[in-house]
Amino acid sequence: MQKAQQNFRLQSWVTALSVLLFVAKIIAYYLTHSLAILTDALESIVNVLAGFIGLFSLYVAAKPRDTEHPYGHGKAEFVSAAAEGALIVAAGFFIIYETVQNIITKNPIEQLDTGLILVGITGAINFIAGSVCIKLGKKNNSLALQASGKHLHIDTYSTIAIIAGLLIILFTQIFWLDKLIAAVLSIVIIYNGYKILRSSLAGIMDEADMNLINQFVEILNKNRRENWIDVHNLRVIKYGSTLHIDCHLTVPWYLNVHEAHNEVDALEKIITKTFSDSIESFVHTDGCLPFSCNICSKNDCEKRQHPFTHQINWTLKNIITNQKHNSETSNN
């Protein structure tokens, strides 16, 4: 809950900042009539709208679980990121439209020096704010904050390109470059909006995060206990800043309920230590079968029916399968 509140507070500041920067860029556009600066201003409109959407999504995501939402409200963050990605794509196409319109109307460019100063200040502020959002978003597993931070960085890179282009225009007086800059940046904006949209839809569809699963597998291999004969059917699902981890843990069949539960507790402690307390784990215990003996390294097992041959090194491929491992399947 504390992390959700941190996310919400930061998003509040980002939203307020986006409004101020948008006003500054609109002033710069009206002073200069530069289509490239208009491109930057339109991106800021998306920042403002996405900021309010992200703010609402984080407010919803911070709500505790209830009977209608047993896994919490974290999916709201994916919806927010999807909306932001769609808005970025829409802004890119609108910039292309404005570029074509400007070619027809041929508005003159004025006061570029003043416009450059205003745009430069907004770019620097955007980069700092974006870095803070990404850092806290990764720490708290918040896709909404990470999306906001990436968008602010994209906005900064666009601003840098615009400043470089406008400086060239200022010194060369080649004004058609303004339209070329806007057209190129619109394509970049559309591509980055697509990436954010793709990432959010993956979260909504519970697409497996292979990097996260690989990290989990590495932790299990480093901290395995002798009673952990096998781990399989691993699932990791993101719900906003919360991770839900499901897996099957094979233990010696003769352990009583309390002993088996101790093994589950040990596994959950290791997970929590690594991923912080934003974890919900559901570990199902399985009793070993005779074919498990070949991969069981327990030295004092009095029920062993077959000699130990080798220990399984859990991998991304074999840990997600929905079956107990044995000496024949361990390398698959």
Res. 332 pLDDT band, cuts 50 70 90: very low
Residue 39: CB partners within 8 Å, gap ≥ 6? 95, 98, 158, 162, 181, 182, 185, 186, 189
Supply the mean pLDDT for the chain. Answer: 77
> Ranked by mean pLDDT, which of 73-77, 231-235, 247-251 comes out on top?
247-251
Instruction: Please give the pLDDT value at position 181.
Output: 76
pTM of the model: 0.53
How many Cβ atoms from other residues are within 10 Å of residue 24's Cβ? 17
State the Cα–Cα distance between residues 49 and 228, nearest whole angstrom: 49
Residue 178: CB partners within 8 Å, gap ≥ 6? 34, 35, 36, 109, 165, 166, 169
Q: What is the pLDDT of residues 191-247, one digit of tens each?
A: 877 887 777 776 665 555 677 788 888 888 888 898 998 888 888 776 655 677 888
143 or 25: which leads in pLDDT? 25
End-to-end CA distance of the chain: 41
State the Cα–Cα distance between residues 94 and 89, nearest whole angstrom: 9
Chain centre distance of CA 55: 16
In the chain the domains, ranked by start, together with CATH numbers, are 2-204 (1.20.1510.10), 210-319 (3.30.70.1350)
State the Cα–Cα distance between residues 32 and 115, nearest whole angstrom: 6
Q: Are 198 and 163 in contact (CB under 8 A)?
A: no
Res. 252 pLDDT band, cuts 50 70 90: very high
State the Cα–Cα distance between residues 148 and 279, nearest whole angstrom: 23
| DSSP 8-state secondary structure symbol assigned to residue 200 | H
State the Cα–Cα distance between residues 42 and 148, nearest whole angstrom: 16
What CA dihedral angle connects 313, 317, 322 and 326, to 10 degrees? -40
Q: What is the pLDDT of residues 283-326, one digit of tens each?
A: 889 998 888 888 888 888 888 888 888 888 888 888 888 787 76
Instruction: Please give the pLDDT value at position 263.
Output: 92
> Ranked by mean pLDDT, which of 8-17, 100-109, 248-257, 271-280 comes out on top?
248-257
Instruction: Please give the pLDDT value at position 251.
Output: 92
Res. 61 pLDDT band, cuts 50 70 90: low
Res. 258 pLDDT band, cuts 50 70 90: very high
Q: What is the pLDDT of residues 127-158, one digit of tens each?
A: 998 898 888 887 776 666 777 788 788 778 77
Q: Which residues of 244-281 are buried (b: 16+ CB within 10 A; e: fewer)?
A: bbebbbbbbeebeeeebeebbeebbebbeeebeebbbb
Mean pLDDT throughout 42-70? 67
